[in-house]
Amino acid sequence: MNDPSQQSQANIQQQRRTDLRIPLLIQKVKLDTGKKVFFGYSKNISSSGMYIAATNPLSPGTLVNVEIPLPFAPGRTAICRCEVIWKRRYDKKSPYEPGMGLKFLDFPQELACELNEWIAQSEPH
């Protein structure tokens, strides 16, 4: 793995998650890089970021505007700026699908609180 933009799996696993997250499939997440708009789907979400499955993930450091349908409020969406923190390319030997981890840069605090409450209520007890 000579590509410096792709972190090793070990480095990715070392990054600690501090916020609760829940597996979630949001089918239409709009990502806008300013040059290109595309749609992907989220596999999990927390109040600090989300994982987007993508066959051609963006490089770490890329900034994107993201429009996310809110799972706890049908019909509502959140729009926020995100940074690609890591990416995983397709590897036929890997059990993991390709995609990228996004960090929310300006996710509204009130929505983050609502999302955390929804995640806490949705977690198996």
Confidence (pLDDT) at 17: 53
Alpha-carbon distances, residue 29 vs 22, 49, 88, 116 (angstroms): 16, 13, 18, 19
Confidence (pLDDT) at 20: 59
Fold held by 19-114: Thrombin, subunit H (2.40.10)
Residue 86 has pLDDT above 60, yes or no: yes
**Burial profile 50-66: b = 16 or more Cβ within 10 angstroms, e = fewer:** bbbbbeebbebebebeb
Residue 6 binned pLDDT confidence (cut-offs 50, 70, 90): very low
Residue spans of the domains in the chain: they are 19-114
The residue among 9 and 115 whose pLDDT is bigger is 115
Tell whether pTM > 0.95: no
Average pLDDT over residues 31-56: 88
User: What span, in angstroms and rounded, lies between the C-alpha atoms of 93 and 16?
Assistant: 25
Nearest to 77 by CA among 21, 23, 28, 25: 28
Nearest to 59 by CA among 2, 8, 7, 106: 7
Confidence (pLDDT) at 9: 47
The residue among 54 and 2 whose pLDDT is bigger is 54
